[in-house]
Amino acid sequence: MSELAPVTGIRNRKLAMWTFIGSECMLFATLISTYMVYRGRNLIGPYPHELLNVPFITVTTFVLLMSSLCMVLALAAMQQGNRRQARFRLFLTAALGLVFLVGQFYEFNHFHHEGLGLSRNLFSSTFYILTGTHGAHVLGGVIWLSTLFLRLGSGPIDAERIETVEIAGLYWHFVDAVWIILFTLIYLLA
Amino acid sequence: MNSQPAGDRSERLDGLNARARAMGQAWKPRLAVVADWMTTVDHKKIAILYFLSGMTFLLIAGMEGQLIRVQLAQSELRILDPNLYNQLFTMHGTTMVFFAGMPLIIAYFNFVVPLQIGARDVAFPRLNMFSWWLAVFGGLFLYASVPLGSMPDGGWFAYTPLTNREYSPGRGMDFYVLALLLAGVGTIAGGVNFVVTILNLRAPGMTFMRLPLFTWMALVVSILILLAFPPFTVGLLFLLFDRNFGTHFFDAAAGADPLLWQHLFWVFGHPEVYILVLPAFGIASEVIPTFSRKGLFGYPVVVFSGVLIAFLGFGVWAHHMFAVGMGPLANSVFAGATMLIAVPTGIKIFNWIATMWGGKLRFTTPMLWAIGLVSMFIIGGLSGVMHASPPTDLQQTDTYFIVAHFHYVLIGGLVFGLFAGLYYWFPKATGKMLSDKLGKWHFWLTLAAFNITFFPMHFSGLLGMPRRTFTYPSELGLDGFNLVSTIGAGLFTVAFVPLIVNLWKTLRNGEPAGANPWGAPTLEWSTGSPPPHYNFAVVPRVQRRDPLWHPWIRPEEEEAGDHEDAGPGGVEPRLQPEVAPEPVVMPSNSWWPMVMSIGMLIATVGGLGSLETTLVGAAITLVGLFGWAFEPAFRDGAGHL
Amino acid sequence: MYRTPTDISNRALAALTGLAARRAPVSGGGGSCVEIAAVVAALAAGLGACGGPYPQSAVHPASDMAVKLDDLFDQILWWAAGVFVVVQGILFYTLFRFREKQARRRPREFHGHTLLEIGWTLVPALILVAIAVPTIRVIFEVDRPTTDENALVVEVEARRWWWEFSYPEYDLVTANEMHIPVGRTIDVRMRSADVLHSFWVPRLGGKRDVVPGRENHIWFKADSTGVFLGQCAEFCGVAHALMGFRVIVQDPSEFQEWVGASLLDAPRPTSADGRAGAGVFATSACVGCHTVRGVATAQQGFGPDLTHFGSRLTIGAGILENNVDNLVTWLDSTQHVKPGALMPEVEMSEEQLRQLARFLLEMR
């Protein structure tokens, strides 16, 4: 069967990712709105300003941003057909994502010891669900990137695979962009 | 890279077959058929699966409605226990919206959209099957609460704080939350699938302004799904955590606002109305031109009004909340936006009438249903304007007036549209014509039953009959209206008999349909009935809207003067060759969508309180995901659709 | 008990059937659908007629607010009736005129008509403006807090599944029956003790949801005396259907009398049975939840205040007439009469129940 060119010029998988990201925007928009609507309505402590460690999160935010950079570089290496560099950069992207997750785990753990359990108050509810949902997205991305890294060990580097990496990159950049918004709203404007 | 999944599959089939042999030769072909349907990726088969599951749930929920009417036949009856009554109306609404309405419209998307745009399948055939499995598993999971005796009882709207653990301590609302989360994943996947399909798989020349109206509405609705479901998903997530992990999203005592749930629910819930109704409008826009022998009047206006309805539909959710005390300004804004929606809706109705004006109307069964839709929807639309006005809504909300209104929208709009589509496309799907006579019995009985049931509810509502009450005092003086409604509901059941008989008789020995029994203008009628697996032997090239009317049918009619239309068995241009000139490679069946959905179902079951089960489910899901990702879509790995 | 028009010629029926008794703006040309609708409506109306009068009707207003809502509804209803008749008329005329047997020639193609499109966009839009303007005016009239300084404040606390009414002005608390004076603005302020409820007395005004964590208002001025039915209108659980109440609108002097009487402690029972009942009550589980002013042991606020219970018209939040037999039934099988009620059934002998009932009824 002769393959028909996609009408939009964007191939199905990539278009699907864009569409999915559009839907994800509504998901995060709802979560973020809830957080913002409930901000300052906490009745019992601990309160955000007592707990949030802005310098620490700035570091993990930087790590996540660097992972996005690595992702860009990995795609470039793919396009040049440089398997070793592409694999290394994908590995690095996933590893930096993992570092971010470890940071988030440390933060959650620390908050928990400070008395902010999930069910403690309104802040804990909104904070954990919002950042937790984002963390789950990062985790999904790390698993995806690791798979790409492993599978790139063999086989040709063809247009198909370059596109796969590009699509994973779209997702990864989206997840990072969401974090920038969360970082600003939760930490910087606290 | 190519681990041999095709081999795996045939091994599995072999295994099944071996067992079948042991059970007796007769089972072998049947098992293979079952296995084929369980693993199919053919949009036409998936459409049938969606249709059957949706119809099953429609009948179940219909029976729940009947029980509700029996309990309300007279005042102060105690036929049903109030707990059971509350469970029944919760299940009735939830089932109708999520497990009957949604699957049925997606059934039509599946069957019609690829055929109308000249594609051989949807963009992601396996994802398509995955969506269906989740829709079914969501429904089955919800109904697993029935044998356990803990059906949800907080209403399909599940308003907090009543649905919090404190006031709904049973498992019921957990079933509700988890079932909808599970089905929601599949629905969003379906939305992605259809957006990409319609944007990318259109045949050459099928521009947006040539898209058939039904496909247009499918596109609009898919986008609505993508934008409306996530807020609801988040709301469900909050409720899940509030109920099970002690968070405080809807807990007034912790400083939260219980109304947040209503906002999240209706930000989804109102667009959901359009998700259900716009496809029915699309069907009407296909059926009416065909049987008027005349192209749709004002095509761009009809398209644009559909888009506008969808767009405005996101700005009106709070009209469900006029009584909560939002203040005069907010109420005025939402009232204005809501009334605005009446304009594009009216435009559609006028354009349908203008399409018929000057036409040559054939009152076939599908046409009757479409006309019924127009006529009944006018009633639902007008009563809608009445409670678009907040002051009058203060008297009407949560009464039977509202019940009457949305049944005119959802039965008069959606169900009439679905039946129009059923009679219209059934010949295409099966190659056999449904009996017109039985179809008309079905139509007239339904029309009568529907109006006898729901029209009196306008009166009982205005005269003080509140909603969601298992009984009402006789001093309200509403026994008469309620009795009429109950009698009508009984007739509704009877009205299904001609349909069932019709389907049964036709499937056994119906008249053959031919490619284009109605002389319809859109691409799906250019191929065989039923269409071959690959839909189109040759990918069609589209030069204009209503391609089959140009140039084949029209000039011929002109010559003949009073032309005898191509009827069942009649002569019609066959645009597609019998056999494909070159071999067509279609995607192969796959077990992985089912494996992955089973994993998600198990994880969902674990959501009722077993972390281990959830982890097992998650593991199976992951296995399914990887199996799926590494399995080539085509048996011999021959590229994409 | 209450007064409603005994005829069923309420505007809803008349206008919706298109057979309005009052001036009918129905332009001719109605098709068969109108006739069908008329038949159906007449059938419904005929059967409905057996049931009236309608004490919980939204179209028999008896207060300033209810009148405003009903007048607005009437306006919209007339527009809707007009649109209904015209559009269905055009539809059925089209169906009749262009049916297959009539059409001699091949349909003429015309794919659009700009002027027509603009026309049927503008006309509905104008009708909607005609509806929106009075709508917004009424919103601002009824939705804002009352400015009447002389308003009588009644605080409502909605609970599963009964109503508590208190009058801060008189330091008075009662349950399930709200007494108000005719002709004076009543400012109802409502709170919820548990889940969502909705305060609704259709003949006196529209609904207002009672939302946990916030105070909602509604205000109205009743224009005639009588007993008006109210009902919770937001689904609130098992006994939602049985969460009724009464609003008793009285002449100001009668109302003042009621206030005066209600402020007194519960009167002591006079009959022998009643006195025995008082003993039963004071030592029963009842006092764990209920208040009776004048009975030292009964000072709990979880259940309805029972002081002057004997003067109430109904029991169980408006579900049974208040008399000895019903009261015994209620006490003996609460969960049957009102499934889900938070009041446990008391374990007592038939005799004790009867004494208890007498005691309660004698607290007038």
Question: For residues C185 and C221, is the Cβ–Cβ distance under 8 A?
Answer: yes
Q: Give the three-state DSSP class for B488.
A: helix
Q: What is the per-residue pLDDT for B576?
A: 78
Residues of chain B contacting C101 with CB distance shorter than 8 Å: none
**b/e map B577-590, b = 16+ CB within 10 Å:** eeeeeeebbbbbbb
Q: CB neighbours of C300 closer than 8 A, spacing ≥ 6?
A: C287, C288, C289, C290, C291
A34, B204: Cβ pair inside 8 Å? no
Average pLDDT over residues A71-88: 95
Among candidates B394, B480, B561 on the partner chain, residue whose Cβ is nearest the Cβ of C48: B480
C55 preceded by a cis bond (ω within 30 of 0) = no
Using left for φ > 0, alpha for ψ between -120 and 50, and beta otherwise, residue B632 falls in: beta
Q: Do at least 3 CB pairs under 8 Å connect A with C?
A: no
pLDDT, position B631: 86
pLDDT at residue B27, as a whole number: 63
The complex's ipTM? 0.96
| Sign of the torsion formed by the C-alpha atoms of B161, B164, B169 and B172 | positive
Query: Which residues have CB under 8 Å from B48's CB, separation 6+?
Result: B107, B111, B429
- The secondary structure of C145-192 as a DSSP string is PP--TTPEEEEEEEETTEEEEEETTTTEEEESEEEEETTSEEEEEEEE
Q: Which of B123, B242, B246 sits opposite A12 (nearest CB)?
A: B123
3-state SS track over chain A: CCCCCCCCCCCHHHHHHHHHHHHHHHHHHHHHHHHHHHCCCCCCCCCHHHHCCHHHHHHHHHHHHHHHHHHHHHHHHHHHCCHHHHHHHHHHHHHHHHHHHHHHHHHHHHHHHCCCCCCCCHHHHHHHHHHHHHHHHHHHHHHHHHHHHHHCCCCCCCHHHHHHHHHHHHHHHHHHHHHHHHHHHHHHCC
Question: Which of B445, B462, B474, B553 to mutate: most C Cβ within 10 Å?
Answer: B462
Could you please report the per-residue DSSP string of C50-83? HH---TT-TTS--BHHHHHHHHHHHHHHHHHHHH
Q: Is the pLDDT of residue B140 over 50?
A: yes
3-state secondary structure of B71: helix
Are B97 and B30 a contacting pair, CB within 8 Å?
A: no
What end-to-end distance do the CA atoms of chain B give, in Å?
21
Cβ contacts (< 8 Å) between B123 and chain A: which residues?
12, 16
The answer to whether A9 contacts chain B (CB < 8 Å) is no
- Identify the residue whose tokens are 């499995």: B133
Is there a contact between B325 and C240 if contact means CB atoms under 8 Å apart? no
Tokens of B641: 């659709």
Q: Which chains touch B (3 or more CB pairs under 8 A)?
A: A, C
Distance from C-alpha of B73 to C-alpha of B68, rounded to nearest angstrom: 9
Which chain A residue is nearest to residue B582, measuring alpha carbons? A1
A-chain residue closest to B637, CA distance: A1
List CB contacts (< 8 A) between A9 and chain B.
none
Residue A7 contacts B where some CB pair is shorter than 8 Å:
yes
**pLDDT for position B569:** 31
Closest to C34 (Cα-Cα) out of C49, C19, C12: C19
Contacts C206 to B, Cβ<8 Å: 323, 391, 393-395
Q: How far is CA B99 from the centre of its chain?
A: 8
Q: How far apart are CA C8 and CA C48, in angstroms?
A: 8
For C314, the 3-state DSSP assignment is: strand
**Residue written as token pair 């009809």:** B302
- Name which of B223, B461, A172, B176 is nearest C57 in CA terms: B461
CATH class of C272-362: mainly beta
Q: Which of A2, A21, A30, A144 to mutate to test the interface with B (most CBs of B within 10 A)?
A: A30
A116 neighbourhood in chain B, CB within 8 Å: none
Instruction: Flag whether pLDDT at C180 surpasses 70.
Output: yes
Radius of gyration of chain C (CA): 27
Helix (H, G, I), strand (E, B) or coil at B10: helix
What does the pLDDT read at residue B21? 56
Q: Which of C112, C144, C213 sits opposite B301 (nearest CB)?
A: C112
pLDDT tens digit string along B569-611? 333 344 677 777 788 888 899 999 999 999 999 999 999 988 9
Chain A environment of B249 (Cβ under 8 Å): 34, 125-126, 129
Q: Cβ contacts (< 8 Å) between B459 and chain C: which residues?
A: 12-13, 44-45, 48
Contact B473 C108 (CB under 8 A): no
The answer, for A8 touching chain B at a CB cutoff of 8 Å, is yes
- Does B213 score more than 60 pLDDT? yes
How far CA B274 is from CA of B131, B211, B269, B313, in Å, comes to: 20, 20, 9, 7
The least confident of A92-106, B520-534, C75-89 is: B520-534
Residue B538: predicted pLDDT: 87
- Our measurement of the distance from residue B429's CA atom to the centroid of its chain's CA atoms, rounded to an integer in Å, reads 18
Q: Give the DSSP H/E element, type plus range, for residue C218.
A: strand C216-221
Structure token pair of residue B574: 């066959």
Structure confidence at residue C4 (pLDDT) = 37
| pLDDT tens figures, B25-60 | 566 688 999 999 999 999 999 999 999 999 999 999
Which structure tokens are listed for C261? Answer: 């009487």
- Please check the confidence at residue C252 and state whether its pLDDT lies above 70: yes
Q: Cβ of B358 and C107 within 8 Å?
A: yes
Dihedral, CA of residue B213, residue B217, residue B220 and residue B224, to nearest 10: 170
Closest CA to C47 of B400, B478, B461, B403: B478
Residue C345 has pLDDT above 90, yes or no: no
Number of CB pairs, chain A paired with chain B, less than 8 A apart:
128
Residues 6+ apart with CB under 8 A from B484: B452, B456, C43, C44, C47
Chains in contact with A via at least 3 Cβ–Cβ pairs below 8 Å: B
At C220, is the secondary structure helix, strand, or coil? Answer: strand
With contacts defined as CB-CB under 8 Å, which chain A residues touch B166?
Answer: none
C43: chain B residues, CB-CB within 8 Å: 452, 484
B touches A, CB cut-off 8 Å, minimum 3 pairs = yes
Predicted local confidence at residue B82, as pLDDT: 95
More confident residue, C322 or A2: C322
Residue type, B448: A
| Single-letter residue type at C81 | A
Residue C149, CA distances (Å) to B325, C191, C208 in order: 21, 21, 21
Q: How confident is the model at residue B427 (pLDDT cuts 50, 70, 90)?
A: very high
Cβ contact A1–B245 (<8 Å) = no
Which residues of chain B neighbour C235 with C-beta distances below 8 Å?
Answer: 86, 154-155, 159, 162, 398, 467-468
pLDDT at B18: 59
Q: Which of C56, C108, C143 sits opposite B358 (nearest CB)?
A: C108
Residues 6+ apart with CB under 8 A from B391: C68, C69, C72, C135, C138, C139, C142, C206
The percent of residues in chain B predicted with pLDDT above 90, rounded, is 82
Structure confidence by residue, pLDDT tens digits, C9-32 = 344 343 344 333 333 333 333 334
Residue range C148-174, pLDDT digits in tens? 999 999 999 999 999 999 999 999 999
Residue A5 in contact with partner chain B when CB distance is under 8 A? no
Q: Closest Cα partner for B235 from C212, A20, A26?
A: A26
Could you tell me which CATH class the domain C152-263 is placed in?
mainly beta
Whole-angstrom distance, CA of residue C182 vs CA of residue C258: 13
Domains of chain A: 12-188 (1.20.120.80)
Beta-carbon separation of B346 and C124 below 8 A = yes
Whether a cis peptide bond, with omega within 30° of 0, leads into B369 is: no
Q: Give yes or no for C229 touching B (CB within 8 A).
A: yes
Q: Which two tokens stand for residue A145?
A: 């990137």
**Within 13 A of A92's CA, how many CA atoms are on the CB side?**
18
pLDDT recorded at residue B556: 43
Nearest CB to A125; choose among B206, B249, B267: B249
Chain A residues touching B226 at Cβ < 8 A: 19, 22-23, 26
C37/B contact by beta carbon, under 8 A? yes
CA gap B329, B623 in Å, rounded: 53
Question: Residue B418: which of B392, B446, B454, B459 has the closest Cα?
Answer: B446
Cross-strand partners of C245: C230
Is C300 in a helix, a strand, or coil? coil
Q: What is the average pLDDT value for chain B, to the nearest integer? A: 90
Using the beta-carbon criterion (under 8 Å), do C59 and B353 form an inter-chain contact? no
Domain at C11-143: CATH architecture: Orthogonal Bundle (1.10)
Domain ranges of chain C: 11-143, 152-263, 272-362
Query: Mean pLDDT, to the nearest integer, of C42-56?
Result: 63
Q: What angle do CA B179, B122, A149 make, to 5 degrees?
A: 80
Residue of C nearest to B378 (CA): C84
DSSP 8-state secondary structure symbol assigned to residue B238: H
Cβ separation B237–A19 shorter than 8 A: no
Condensed to tens digits (0 to 9), the pLDDT of residues A19-51 reads 999 999 999 999 999 999 999 899 998 999 899
Q: In what order do the strands lie in the sheet with C185-192?
A: C172-175, C162-167, C152-159, C185-192, C216-221
Angle at B128 between CA B208 and CA B369, to 5 degrees: 60
Cβ–Cβ gap C211/B374 under 8 Å: no
Q: Which amino acid is at C37?
A: A
CATH domain B258-509 topology: Cytochrome C Oxidase; Chain A (1.20.210)
d(CA B258, CA B251): 6
